[in-house]
């Protein structure tokens, strides 16, 4: 047995290469994040995840950004999920209906991914929709904290029913700033009191509801700490852990994003994130930096982090998507999902949703 390490890595293609296998067998590795480039078909994805699982015991965590709308890595043979903002628009008119749909989306999302041996998706987005952030945009449920919390809660209940844990992001809130942390270093100049009374409210409610994991933002809040939230002991240990009572997993956002570069080289970034309170750090779209990190990082995995990460393994799931498609509950759910945002006759599922992202960047 080889315990999970604190690093989550990505892959270059639709099959494992020798370099992939070497990295995934490294003691520091604990998980894999999949992108659109790793998907060709359900049968290919199934074979890929089975090979990843066979490399280690306990098996490496397998994750994906699969929120719906712009951020849905697997498209063909999967249900096209709507952007979460559409649920917020339904909430404004029919809150009960919006909550039912959120639950159905969570269940379909989880059941389809679990049928392909993916452990979890980095969802839900708990950022507030201030209308300022292009990178968040329609990924957010709503502008009102209560609407976000109630819709996210139902989505998470659906995920749980489908055998999947949940990851709330991007703590303490990325929706207020316009700058994209993929390409720059966003700075949110608001006071802590304003953030607490707004952006933190959905996170607090979801923590109270039993949220499994959280991903902090690569955003600097200088009136709280000079470091981005994902590298800040103030945000992660003092506020998130002690004041808000969160005891789940903290995943860093991608350490190769521009918003993380202020913390030094890749090893320094990982050490800073882990010291600040992250249980696992992500390194994506840069195999050279992944190798540098695996060679240079010295981090004994705390027992508490291992216990938290064990909760992220997926629970029992359908044997296959074929079996899932025979479930009448599934057929009913995808009919309801296919009507979201469509005002005319019901669309075929293949036309529901938005154009696929290129999968080249973390969300």
The catalytic residue positions are 182, 253
Distances 361 to 1, 23, 73, 182 between C-alpha atoms, Å: 32, 20, 11, 8
Cα–Cα nearest to 276, from 319, 202, 216 = 216
Contact in structure between 186 and 134 (CB atoms under 8 Å): no
Rounded distance between C-alpha atoms, residue 228 and residue 235, angstroms = 9
Rounded distance between C-alpha atoms, residue 301 and residue 290, angstroms = 18
Q: Is the dihedral of CA 55, 56, 59, 60 positive or negative?
A: negative
* Angle formed at CA 85 by CA 80 and CA 87, multiple of 5 degrees: 75
Rounded distance between C-alpha atoms, residue 326 and residue 331, angstroms = 8
Name 220's bridge partners. 187, 228
């Amino acid at each position: 047995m080889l315990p999970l390490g604190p690093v989550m890595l990505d892959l270059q293609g639709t099959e494992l290469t020798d370099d992939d296998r070497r990295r995934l067998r490294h003691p520091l590795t604990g998980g894999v994040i999949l992108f659109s480039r790793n998907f060709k078909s359900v049968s290919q994805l199934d074979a890929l995840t089975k090979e990843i699982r066979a490399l280690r015991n306990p098996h490496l965590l397998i994750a994906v950004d699969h929120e719906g709308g712009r951020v849905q890595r697997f498209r063909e043979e999967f249900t096209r999920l709507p952007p979460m903002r559409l649920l917020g628009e339904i909430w404004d008119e029919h809150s009960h209906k919006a909550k039912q749909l959120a639950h159905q989306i969570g269940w379909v999302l989880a059941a389809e991914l679990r049928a392909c041996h993916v452990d979890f998706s980095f969802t839900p987005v708990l950022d507030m929709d201030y209308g300022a952030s292009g990178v968040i945009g329609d990924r957010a449920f709503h502008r009102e904290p209560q609407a976000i919390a109630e819709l996210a809660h139902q989505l998470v209940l659906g995920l749980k029913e489908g055998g999947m844990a949940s990851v709330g992001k991007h703590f303490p809130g990325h929706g207020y700033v316009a700058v994209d942390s993929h390409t720059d270093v966003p700075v949110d100049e608001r006071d802590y009191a304003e953030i607490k009374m707004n952006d933190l409210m959905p996170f607090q409610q979801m923590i109270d509801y039993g949220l499994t994991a959280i991903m902090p933002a690569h955003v600097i809040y200088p009136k709280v700490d000079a470091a981005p939230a994902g590298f800040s002991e103030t945000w992660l240990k003092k506020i998130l852990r002690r004041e808000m009572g969160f005891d789940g997993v903290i995943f860093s956002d991608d350490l190769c994003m521009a918003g993380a570069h202020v913390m030094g080289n890749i090893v320094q970034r990982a050490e800073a994130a882990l010291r600040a309170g992250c249980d696992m750090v992500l390194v994506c779209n840069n195999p050279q930096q992944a190798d540098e990190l695996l060679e240079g990082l010295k981090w004994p995995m705390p027992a508490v982090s291992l216990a938290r990460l064990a909760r992220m393994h997926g629970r029992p799931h359908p044997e296959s998507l074929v079996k899932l498609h025979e479930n009448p509950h599934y057929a009913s759910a995808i009919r309801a999902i296919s009507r979201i945002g469509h005002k005319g006759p019901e669309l075929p599922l293949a036309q529901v949703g938005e154009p696929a992202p290129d999968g080249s960047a973390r969300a």
